[in-house]
């Protein structure tokens, strides 16, 4: 399948979480989809956005609120159904036709699980870049990755916005990817276009 090579879509999810194990019957559930694009010609970040999603099976713990700043009241007031969020990102960001990236595989796995569980069509192409792994291989010469905030610190960049807010984290991940492309060349993305 041919994919557009104009922009890379960067996604960062925030999910319900607990300091220890989830309470009985509750599961990690997407509550924010942070998304932006990276123009692959100019390496500029564009179109940053936060899409809030109402949880259906879980409550937002105090631990989760302290980490993300999101409360259950805000999610129910400003959030939307997961299926609506998927329609928005598919329509606005053409995610079925573009490669996309996240920091690690957790976001991709969680998205697939929620789509399966909620019977919502998966909104992304199969072309996924694990930016955490790419950073580890190129900058650390290791297969063991580090957190996004640590990666920014290692490169001398400052974290923009609030850590653990999807839109801000996606924005920062996009800058890390741009940094890797500038430093190591565009061929670091070549695996996205193969096959």
Domain boundaries, the chain: 4-186
Q: Are 134 and 180 in contact (CB under 8 A)?
A: yes
0.95 exceeded by the pTM?
yes
Distance CA 80, CA 78 (A): 7
DSSP-assigned letter for residue 35: E
Q: Show the tokens assigned to 172.
A: 């920062």
- 193 falls in which pLDDT band (50, 70, 90)? confident
Assess whether pLDDT exceeds 70 at residue 45: yes
The percent of residues in the chain predicted with pLDDT above 70, rounded, is: 99
Structure confidence at residue 17 (pLDDT): 97
Assess whether pLDDT exceeds 60 at residue 167: yes
CATH of 4-186 given 3.40.50.300, 3.30.420.10, 3.30.70.20, 3.10.20.70:
3.30.420.10
C-alpha torsion sign, points 28, 30, 34, 37:
positive
Residues 6 or more apart whose CB falls under 8 angstroms from that of 76 comprise: 54
Structure confidence at residue 1 (pLDDT): 56
Strand, helix or coil for residue 127? coil
C-alpha torsion sign, points 102, 20, 152, 158:
positive
- 195 falls in which pLDDT band (50, 70, 90)? low
For residue range 71-126, list pLDDT tens digits in order: 999 999 999 999 999 999 999 999 999 999 999 999 999 999 999 999 999 999 99
């Amino acid at each position: 399948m041919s994919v557009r090579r104009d922009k890379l879509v960067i996604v960062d999810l925030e999910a319900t979480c607990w300091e220890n194990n989830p309470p009985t019957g509750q599961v990690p559930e997407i509550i924010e989809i942070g998304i932006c694009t990276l123009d692959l010609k100019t390496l500029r970040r564009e179109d940053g956005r936060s899409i809030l999603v109402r949880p259906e099976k879980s409550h937002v713990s105090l631990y989760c609120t302290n980490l993300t700043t999101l409360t259950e009241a805000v999610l129910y007031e400003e959030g939307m159904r997961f299926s609506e969020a998927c329609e928005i990102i598919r329509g606005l960001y053409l995610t079925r036709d573009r490669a996309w990236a996240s920091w690690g595989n957790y976001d991709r796995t969680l998205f697939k699980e929620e789509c399966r569980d909620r019977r919502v069509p998966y909104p992304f192409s199969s072309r996924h870049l694990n930016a955490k792994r790419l950073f580890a291989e190129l900058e650390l010469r290791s297969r063991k990755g580090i957190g996004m905030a640590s990666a920014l610190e290692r490169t001398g960049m400052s974290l923009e916005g609030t850590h653990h807010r999807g839109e801000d984290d996606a924005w920062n991940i996009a800058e890390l990817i741009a940094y890797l492309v500038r430093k190591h060349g565009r061929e670091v993305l070549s695996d996205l276009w193969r096959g």
